[in-house]
Structure 1
Amino acid sequence: MAVRAVRGATQLEEDTREHMLDRVAELVTDVMEANGLEVDDFISIIFTATSDLTSEFPAYAARQLGFSDVPLVCARELEIEGSMPRVVRLMAHVETDLPRSDVTHVYLHGAANLRRDLTRTTSHD
C-alpha cells in the first residue's frame, strides 16, 4: 500500500454556508468515487479557500461525511491578482494501491479550468 496525494478543486457560485457545504461534499465524494477510496483510506486533507469565501470552514463538509478521525485543516489560498474567485481546493493524502499515474484528480464546475492537464474533469452544472 502506498501513500498518494490527490488534488481537487471546486468553484462556488455564491458564498453561502449551504452552498459551501454542498460543493465541498460533492468534491470529496467525487475524489473518493474516482479513486475507489473509503474514509479509512484518508490520512489527512488540507483545504484552502479563496479570501472571498467566509461562510463556513470547508472541512466541516468532510466532517459531515464521516471524516471524524481524519486530520483536516483549512487555510487561506494565496491572493494572486486575476486568480479565479470563490474556489475551494483540497489536497488529500491517502493510502491506496493505485500507481501514481492512475490517481484521478477532480476539478469541478468553474475550477475545471484550473488544471485540465492534470485531471479528468467532471461537471455537475
Structure 2
Amino acid sequence: MSMRGIRGAITVEQNEKEAIWQAAKAMMQELIARNELDPEDIGAVIFSMTEDLTAAFPTAGVRQLPGFDLVPLFDARQCAIEGSLGKCIRVLVLADTEKKQRDIHHIYMGRAVALRPDIR
C-alpha cells in the first residue's frame, strides 16, 4: 500500500454556508467513491478556497460525513491570481491505497472542470 495524493475542485454559485458545505461534501463523496476509499485510509485532507468564499469552512461540512470524525482536515486560502476561477473549493487528499498513480481518479466538478480539461 502506498500513500497517494488525490486532487479535486468544485465551484459554488453563492457564498453561503450551506452551499459551501454541500459542495465540499459532494466533492469528497465522489472522490471517495471513485477511488474506493474508506475514511480510515485517509491520512489528511487539505482544502483551499478562493478569497470570494467567506461564509463557511469546507471542513465543517465534510466533518458531517460518516467516518470523518477522526480524519485530520485543514482549511487554507487559495492564492488570489488575476483571472483565476472564482468561488472555487480545491482539495488535496492524502490516502493509503493499492492503486497506482495512473489509476487515481481526480475529481473536478461544476465550473472547476475547466481547471483540468485533460481529466474527464
Say which SS state the counterpart of residue 98 (structure 1) adopts.
Answer: coil
Shift of 1:116: 1.6
* 1:70-102 CA-partner distances (Å, limit 9, x unpaired): 111100000000111000000000000000000
TM normalised by structure 1 equals 0.93
Q: Which residue of structure 1 aligns with residue 41 of structure 2?
A: 41
Find the aligned partners of 1:92 and 1:61 in 2 and give their Cα distance. Answer: 16
RMSD: 0.7
**Which protein has greater RCO, CA pairs closer than 8 Å, 6+ apart?**
2
* 1:29-86 CA-partner distances (Å, limit 9, x unpaired): 0000110011111100000000000110011111101311111110000000011100
Say which SS state the counterpart of residue 64 (structure 1) adopts.
Answer: coil
Find the aligned partners of 2:27 and 2:7 in 1 and give their Cα distance. Answer: 10
Q: Size of the alignment, in residue pairs?
A: 119
Counterparts of 1:81-100 in structure 2 under 5 Å? 81-100=82-101
1:11 has 2:17 as partner: no
Amino acid at match of 1:9: A
Structure 2, unaligned stretches of length 5 or more? none
Moved over 2 A (4+): none
Say which SS state the counterpart of residue 81 (structure 2) adopts.
Answer: coil
Structure 1, unaligned stretches of length 5 or more? 121-125
Shift of 1:26: 0.2
Amino acid at match of 2:49: A
Find the aligned partners of 2:7 and 2:61 in 1 and give their Cα distance. Answer: 17
TM normalised by structure 2 equals 0.97
Q: Which residue of structure 1 aligns with residue 108 of structure 2?
A: 107
% identical equivalent positions: 34
1:59 has 2:54 as partner: no
